Amino acid sequence: MLFFRCPICKSPLKDCGDHAQCPNRHSFDRAAEGYYHLLPSNKMHAKLPGDSKEMVAARRAFLNAGYYQLFSDGINEAAEKLLCDVQSPMILDAGCGEGYYTARLKQALSERRHDIRIAGFDISKFAVKAAAKRDKKIDFAVASIFDIPAADGCCDLVLNVFAPIVPTEFARVLKPGGVLLIAVPSERHLFGLKEILYESPYYNEKIDTVYEGFDFLERIPLRGTITITDSVQIANLFSMTPYYWKTPQAGCERLRQLARLDTEIGFDLLLYRREQAGNNSLHPRSRT
């Protein structure tokens, strides 16, 4: 059986080679790269939802260059500690993008143990296609984070890096006692980039949030600086960010003329544990 379940009737999916099928005969083709498209057409709000082919290519090139390895290493270290006493852990990367963090997490954990299983999904077909090319032994699918095609209580750890946060779905797929690991930008993440783009650069908002059914464990700060002297990589970084969509023309022009970018980078890893006595009616509230 595949890790993923049928997005239509919620039944298990069987791997049939070139396709997957559930007992109710809902069938889903297997792409040449090895992933499945599990996003029903009635849940697609665009012809090709999610990141475009060009955005995925830019992100892949930037991440492959190692500029964010600090974050990947921090995620790997945190996950290893959280799962050290868990036998045969199942990890789900919810909003996996092009698979950089997913594949490096699997590689890091597999070097120390051989009972890890990991899956990932994203709403962007182009991102999942790129992710599946990274590691054909990871289960990847095109799917919605608002209706995850996975069984209740099937995961020991859910990873969420710069993706929408849907606590009800995360709680549903996590086992009681399972862990949610969320990566969010720190207050000064990419502040050097903002100084180029905006006349009045601003800090990112820091919000501590708790979710019903989850116990907050800790915030792990990951901080560093990067220097980029390749104009193509500067453009790649820009296209990965929300600023790509809301920067004034003057800021875009300053960036195009830039030959070197020095900037702070920062993630905060937010760790939560799913309560043992589950509650599937979960709503976020701010911590006070």
Task: Give the up-direction half-sphere exposure of residue 98: CA atoms within 13 A in the CB hemisphere.
Answer: 17
pLDDT for 208 = 78
* Closest listed residue to residue 229, CA positions, set 258, 265, 188, 252: 258
Distance CA(74)–CA(62), nearest Å, equals: 18
Cβ within 8 Å of residue 193, ≥6 positions away: 237, 238, 241, 243, 255, 261, 263
Q: Is 108 left (phi over 0), alpha (psi -120 to 50) or beta?
A: alpha
- The per-residue pLDDT for 280 is 44
Backbone φ, ψ for residue 183 (5° rounding): -105, 125
Residue 265 falls in which region: left (phi positive, over 0), alpha (psi -120 to 50) or beta: beta
DSSP for 129-182, written as a single string: HHHHHH-TTSEEEE--TTS--S-TT-EEEEEEESS---HHHHHHHEEEEEEEEE
**Residue pair 149/5 in contact by the 8 Å Cβ criterion:** yes
Structure tokens at 17: 């080679």
Q: What is the pLDDT of residue 45?
A: 66
- Confidence at residue 288, expressed as pLDDT on a 0 to 100 scale: 29
CA pseudo-torsion sign 271, 277, 278, 281: negative
| Ranges in the chain, pLDDT < 50 | 278-288
What pTM, to 2 d.p., does this model score?
0.92
Instruction: Return the SS3 of 215.
Output: strand
Q: Tell me 19's DSSP state.
A: E
